[in-house]
């Protein structure tokens, strides 16, 4: 079964009164928003959502930022991020649909990373 998600890399979203339009800076958040069926502002704004925590997790895994920089980028307290990441495993066990979405995000990001390495 092949999955295909169209990502609008020129997306802009209001966040704290500003518009975000840097496609590379928010690529992971955009992918998570698309697959999780939410808005970019719910991930990078002040909301506490599973989508935000999943974006942070994948940002740490696939991104180039350190843990503290990811917390700052996503407007979340470092200690609280740590707590939410540790609870993510429980959430994935409780919610099979969330687990499927998490895997889809990981596969898509891995595919992008492999494509970037083979073309870069």
Q: Where are the domains of the chain?
A: 13-119
**H or E element at residue 79:** helix 78-94
What are the pLDDT tens digits along the chain (120 aa)? Answer: 444 444 444 445 444 444 555 667 899 999 999 999 999 989 988 889 999 999 999 999 998 899 999 999 999 999 999 999 999 999 999 999 999 999 999 999 999 989 888 876
Nearest residue to 98 (alpha-carbon basis) of 40, 49, 59: 49
Q: Given this structure, which CATH class describes domain 13-119?
A: mainly alpha
Instruction: Return d(Cα 38, Cα 104) in angstroms, integer.
Output: 15
Q: Token pair of 7, please? A: 């990502």
Per-residue pLDDT at 116 = 83
Where b means 16+ CB within 10 Å and e means fewer, 87-114 reads ebeeebeeeeebeebbebbeebbeeeee
pTM of the shown model = 0.80
């Amino acid at each position: 079964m092949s999955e295909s998600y169209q990502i609008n890399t020129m997306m802009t979203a209001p966040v704290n009164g500003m518009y975000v339009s840097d496609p590379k800076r928010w690529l992971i958040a955009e992918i998570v928003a698309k697959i999780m069926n939410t808005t970019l502002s719910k991930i990078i704004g002040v909301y506490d959502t599973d989508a935000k925590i999943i974006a942070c997790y994948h940002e740490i895994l696939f991104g180039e930022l350190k843990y503290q920089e990811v917390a700052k980028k996503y407007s979340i307290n470092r200690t609280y991020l740590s707590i939410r990441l540790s609870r993510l495993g429980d959430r994935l066990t409780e919610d099979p649909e969330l687990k499927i979405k998490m895997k889809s995000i990981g596969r898509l990001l891995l595919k992008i990373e492999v494509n970037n390495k083979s073309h870069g």
